[in-house]
């Protein structure tokens, strides 16, 4: 999925010119309005909100390997045991 930005001045779609990581959970997007009559440029923040399902990278190595080779039904069971 790509991020779409919108100009707050004229409502046109904007283009992301560049972005910078502003810490672990915040990304700043530098945008410019695509409407040539507007030309507004601005910065937006993309902020991490919350985890919906845990990263497999956070799991102990042994369990991760087990999950990788387990069929989907087995994976659900293993995840259920974790929480
Ligand atoms: Zn605009």
pLDDT at 53: 85
pLDDT at 83: 66
Tell whether pTM > 0.95.
no
Q: What is the Cα gyration radius of the chain?
A: 20
Confidence at 1, pLDDT banded by 50, 70, 90 = low
**What separation in Å is there between the alpha carbon of 18 and the centre of ligand 1?**
17
Structural tokens at position 15: 């283009």
Beta strand extents in the chain (DSSP E only): 5-6, 13-21, 26-33, 41-47
pLDDT in tens, 22-81: 999 999 999 999 999 999 999 999 999 999 988 888 888 888 888 888 888 888 887 787
Burial class of residue 7, CB neighbours in 10 A (0-12, 13-18, 19+) = buried
Question: What residues does each domain of the chain span?
Answer: 5-47, 51-83
**What separation in Å is there between the alpha carbon of 21 and the centre of ligand 1?**
25
pLDDT at 65: 84
Structural tokens at position 25: 């959970």
């Amino acid at each position: 999925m790509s991020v779409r930005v919108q100009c707050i001045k004229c409502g046109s779609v904007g283009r992301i010119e560049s972005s910078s990581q502003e810490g672990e959970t915040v990304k700043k997007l530098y945008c410019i309005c695509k409407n040539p009559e507007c030309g507004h440029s601005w910065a937006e923040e993309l902020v991490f909100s919350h985890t919906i399902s845990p990263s497999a990278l956070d799991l102990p190595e042994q369990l991760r390997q087990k999950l990788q080779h387990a069929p989907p039904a087995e994976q659900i069971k293993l995840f259920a045991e974790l929480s």
